[in-house]
Structure 1
Amino acid sequence: MWWWYTSSFRWPELNLSLPWSIFRWPALDLSYWSVESVIQWNLSLVDDVVWALITGLESIALVALLCYFFLCCGLKTESAQQKKSKKTDRRSNFGKRFLSSCMEFQSPTSRPTRNDVILNHHPPFPIIHRFLLPPPPLPSPSTVLLPIPFNPSLFFTMDNQRSISLLQFMVDEGLLPSAAEEDKRQNVIRKLKQVVSSWIKKVACLHQLPEHQIAVTSATILSYGSYGLGVHSSGSDIDALCVAPFFASIAEDFFVVLHDMLKRRPEVSYIHCVKSAKVPLMRFKFEGVSIDLPYARLNVLYVPENVDILNPFFMRNIDDTSWKSLSGVRANKYILHLVPNIEKFQCMLRCLKLWAKRRGVYGTLLGYLGGVHMTVLAAYVLLRHPDATLNAIIMNFFQTFAFWPWPTPVMLQEGMLTVIDAIETRSFMPIFLPSSRYEYCHTNITKSTFFRIRSEFLRGYDMTKDILKPDFLWDNVFEPFPYSKRYSQFVKIYLSSPDHYALAEWVGWVKSRFRGLLVHLEVTQGFCDPNPTEYVDSEKTEPNVVFYWGLQPNKKNFLDIDSVKGEFMKIIKNGYEGSPGKMEMSILFASQLPN
């Protein structure tokens, strides 16, 4: 379809009344046409229609087909004798009409003569029909007119280059811990196991078990979370589960006896209990490494050091608290057994967790995705693209969940959905735990946070979908979310306590109640973006933590922040065992945010 460039017609000089000539074509008497001429015109028109469809000009193709229909209706089906008797008069009338049409649209220097038209036995449409379709834009001097041939090796090369650059980006961002840090973490786990072994012997003596049972009883520590999956970064905490026999209670033996033993050790600092959480645990630092230690007890006397908790034997007749505590460990082990390439999975998950933190959509307590959610979503994509490169699976991740038909649940294996929880049917993003056919990942996602997560999936897809994009940089994908540019007003939540120990307990308790505050702000303001980042007000001398939540832009409704604070204080003071700290709430403009 390059006849625009070879024709004597020039598009800028055309008469704008040209489209109206289309409706005059059916009036032409075309009975003189030969069969060859009609076939030639048909093929030319089909060529134009196909070109229009390929280039996305569906409306132009429709007009061309309508013209073809009208022209076919205008053809006379006369006998050969009737055509011969009227041939001379009709040819004369046709010639006059055709020449007048050409005089309208053709440039003065290239008008065909009557003999040229009649003797060539070509119908007028090879000349007129070229104006059915708009010509392509005139090429600039720097435009390459020749099409670039498809070269698969180019895509493979670009894909590999992106994968290599992503690995280098991970190194530059410090996502990979050093060998010294790995040794330190392993040493912490080893010492923690020794403490737990001594603790269970002491508990067995307190419960006055027989001597032979005291000699054989044991407990262990199982790591899970980011450290258990091998995707922890430098400075991240350790999720470790204390697994003990049936006779060790959580209220007395774990939160009292083990707590006191840990508190007396010089390596342990900032230890406190979080008893009211969905999964009760102790939090402390062991040689400077943050530890989250929940508790589970099995219906056995002896717990092997590397107990296989996927074995149904160990899961029989356990209490609900132990079941919830074991869910995270079981999910980790199940996924590691399921994914085809553990190293690729670890690299993928490291990148996605950094992306979620940078874009402000990571943090279960604030209504966003948590570690277990990211793990299941990453495994879902890798299971369906086991041979893809690191760059390709990141692209597929964004593409998959940017257009996922939520609230359809995400399941690693088909057939897991056997019982639907009535609560989860109202969830925005239901995700199944891979180790259970009945259990969902716990989520606090609300309308606002769901919108933010979906928008970030779409952004990631838009930035990574074009593999041939010349100016692509991973730094742009992982760019921190610009809160101060996106929102004009913020809710400032200031939490403080007399010391850091009390502050850690107070902040953990308040964060566990944040979802109620978020829902209340959504009702009054329509939208609220809870920034998960914890800031510190350096102008205050007391230990403090500050949160800044973005409010819906251009919202005119007045927000009575004192009323919101009063209602939320009633919630957080209800059930808190320690001495509550201080909480202040205020409205700030973007210009008032600290640097």
Structure 2
Amino acid sequence: MAANETRSWGVTPPISVAASSEREREITVSLMEELRRQNTFETEEESRRREIVLGRVAALVKKFVKEVSISKGLSETASNAAGGKIFTFGSYRLGVHGPGTDIDTVCVVPKHVSREDFFKVFEPMLCAMEGATEVSGVPDAFVPIIKAKISDIPMDLQIAPLGMSSIPEDLSLKDNNLLKNLDESIVRSINGTRLTDELLRLVPNVQVFRDALRCIKLWATRKAIYSNVNGYLGGVAWAMLVARICQLYPNAVAGAVVQRFFTIMSKWPWPDPVLLKQIEDGPLQVRVWNPKLYPSDRQHRMPIITPNYPSMCATHNVSASTLAILSEQIQNGADTVSKIIAGTTTWAELFSKHDFFHRYRNYIQVVALTRDPQLQMKWAGTVESRMRHLIMKLEFVDNLRLAHPFVKGFDRVVRCASEEEASAVLRGQPPSSPDAEGADGDAENAAAPHKVYLTAFFVGLAVRPKDPGDAGPRRLDVSFSITEFVKMVKGETFDEAKMGISLKHIRSTSLPDYVFDPGEREARVTGKRSKKSLGGKDGGADTPNKKPRLSTSSLTN
């Protein structure tokens, strides 16, 4: 490269190669101090524990491959040589994980080890592993997965059988030829690691990228917009966006990257999707975003395309509703960071908690129920993975401006006086005692002989404003959307004797206490409400004199 040429880290040259200003360096120092106050860095003890757990899981994967190999007729020698190897990806591999963060892991195995073996053989082995708890396989997910905690370290494990008879110790996943003739779900699993490695290769300064990404991840988590499964952006998409800003400002410090992230993202949509580099891999044709060649890509509302082969849209779950929510939060973030730069506020304001459970008058509560804690993890995972379909169905409801899904479920346990009451609760009826419901770790729950396990998910409903001249009440009929959603979720695996699902409309005043932090509900009632809201309680569509009539046909199955 000639001395007067500027290196291009992405598909376009940098916007600026200037060094950051003194003020930008100052806010970077205060940003890192706030991130430490917010407990985003794990301790050395937890880091060591993660390494030990990964070593134990790696050994278990080899044992699993050997057992399956022997069961399928391979010799003792061939079974020992079959190997098996784990690769991490996501926040842990990027180096931006914090306390309690799960480790995304893919188990790479030989071609004769199947996905069915993963759930029938490896999952029980994992359950029997010392220190393993909350082991739950979700084979029907978009990417089949086993969730577990091992020595209190949460892990998400996927399987990727390669077209090889054995897995060598020095295997690298960089070779594109490894992906030939693999089905899409396996490619997605492998690409987690491949993408993470590519992101680290494509940023000018890895430490600046990591510091800025920690900030954006914390902000997105606090604002309840960090969730790919619910139609927001997951870790991959947020990391790609931050990496792109780093490419555009290669000499910027972390605080400056964050400021420019919000400034640029508040102007979304960009003219083109976010691409980190132009990919040319010789004989292997790489799909880059082109709406003329790939009409399906035009359906993506916020296309962010992965840089490695095969390129994919990392944001295919984003809906009209979640895009509106993302846009609002990004604009709010831009306003806050501008105040931080000006010195009129601090980074702590950027990380303030969301107001999801205060901003709407109407909510839909979706409850997944079972009688068994292991089955509950699987069933709740299945329901959560389908929640985005409910949102898309609700978007067609007349008078509904948007459907706002919350990013996580709330786990509860109901103590019942008898088997009959437990069966009734499973069907959606309330328990006889108002104090019967509690958290799973409650001492009272531990002693209860008849239990029902439940996970509650919530969707906020923002109503459209009345058109000028409209008279009379409006009707918000979501019953068809709910009915279709229940049919889809139940599918072929639903067992009425063991599982239940309940959907109902609730007012904000009837929200359960467990969705609020201690003292939060009371403080909010006495405090001032913000008028800056997407159809919220004040200044939006759903104002007190314009309350709609809601029809949900509350369903229980």
TM range (shorter): 0.7 to 0.9
Match of 1:526 in 2: 401
Comparing 560-569 with 362-371, greater Cα deviation is found at 560-569
Structure 1 runs, 4 residues or longer, greater than 6 Å off: none
Match of 1:231 in 2: 96
Match of 1:74 in 2: none
Partners of 1:338 and 1:578 lie apart in 2 by 48
Q: Contact 1:407–1:430 (CA<8 Å) still a contact in 2? A: no
Q: 1:576 aligns with which of 486, 493, 498?
A: 493
Map 1:332-481; keep pairs closer than 5 Å.
332-406=196-270, 408-414=272-278, 417=288, 420-436=293-309, 438-465=311-338, 468-481=341-354
Partners of 1:238 and 1:341 lie apart in 2 by 24
Partners of 1:418 and 1:178 lie apart in 2 by 41
Map 1:151-550; keep pairs closer than 5 Å.
156-251=21-116, 253-406=117-270, 408-414=272-278, 417=288, 420-436=293-309, 438-465=311-338, 468-524=341-397, 525-536=400-411, 539=435, 540=437, 542-550=452-460
Comparing 465-474 with 213-222, greater Cα deviation is found at 465-474
Cα distance, 1:407 vs structure 2: 7.5
Cα distance, 1:535 vs structure 2: 3.0
Partners of 1:229 and 1:455 lie apart in 2 by 28
Match of 2:422 in 1: none
Kindly tell me: are residues 214 and 550 of structure 1, through their superposed partners in 2, closer, same or farther at Cα, counting changes over 3 Å? closer
Per-residue CA shift, 1:556-593, capped at 9, x if unaligned?
64234555433321111113366663222222333333
Kindly tell me: are residues 398 and 418 of structure 1, through their superposed partners in 2, closer, same or farther at Cα, counting changes over 3 Å? closer
Partners of 1:468 and 1:370 lie apart in 2 by 27
Match of 1:48 in 2: none
Cα distance, 1:497 vs structure 2: 2.1
TM-score by length of 2: 0.74
Partners of 1:348 and 1:417 lie apart in 2 by 27
Kindly tell me: are residues 235 and 332 of structure 1, through their superposed partners in 2, closer, same or farther at Cα, counting changes over 3 Å? same
Comparing 182-191 with 223-232, greater Cα deviation is found at 223-232
Cα distance, 1:241 vs structure 2: 0.4
Aligned pairs, number? 440
TM-score by length of 1: 0.70
Matched position secondary structure for 1:194: helix
Cα distance, 1:366 vs structure 2: 1.2
Match of 1:130 in 2: none
Q: Contact 1:535–1:547 (CA<8 Å) still a contact in 2? A: yes
Kindly tell me: are residues 398 and 187 of structure 1, through their superposed partners in 2, closer, same or farther at Cα, counting changes over 3 Å? same
Per-residue CA shift, 1:414-458, capped at 9, x if unaligned?
467266433221110011111125422252111111011111111
Kindly tell me: are residues 283 and 567 of structure 1, through their superposed partners in 2, closer, same or farther at Cα, counting changes over 3 Å? same
Partners of 2:361 and 2:196 lie apart in 1 by 41
Name the Cα RMSD after superposition. 2.3
Partners of 1:413 and 1:564 lie apart in 2 by 41
Matched position secondary structure for 1:465: helix
Match of 2:541 in 1: none
Higher RCO (CA-CA < 8 Å; seq separation 6+): 2
Comparing 397-406 with 367-376, greater Cα deviation is found at 397-406
Kindly tell me: are residues 446 and 195 of structure 1, through their superposed partners in 2, closer, same or farther at Cα, counting changes over 3 Å? same
Q: 2:482 aligns with which of 542, 565, 579?
A: 565
Matched position secondary structure for 1:513: helix
Cα distance, 1:265 vs structure 2: 2.3
Match of 2:4 in 1: none
Partners of 2:138 and 2:408 lie apart in 1 by 21
Compare the two structures and name the one with the higher strand fraction: 2
Cα distance, 1:468 vs structure 2: 4.8
Partners of 1:178 and 1:364 lie apart in 2 by 28
Matched position secondary structure for 2:404: strand
Q: Contact 2:409–2:455 (CA<8 Å) still a contact in 1? A: yes
Higher Cα Rg, which structure: 1
Compare the two structures and name the one with the higher helix fraction: 1
Gaps of 5+ in 2: 1-19, 280-286, 414-434, 439-451, 466-472, 514-520, 522-557
Gaps of 5+ in 1: 1-154
Matched position secondary structure for 2:167: coil
Partners of 1:272 and 1:577 lie apart in 2 by 17
Over the matched positions of the two proteins, sequence identity in percent amounts to: 27
Kindly tell me: are residues 575 and 408 of structure 1, through their superposed partners in 2, closer, same or farther at Cα, counting changes over 3 Å? farther
Matched position secondary structure for 1:273: strand
Q: Contact 2:89–2:193 (CA<8 Å) still a contact in 1? A: yes
Q: Contact 2:68–2:113 (CA<8 Å) still a contact in 1? A: yes
Kindly tell me: are residues 291 and 468 of structure 1, through their superposed partners in 2, closer, same or farther at Cα, counting changes over 3 Å? closer
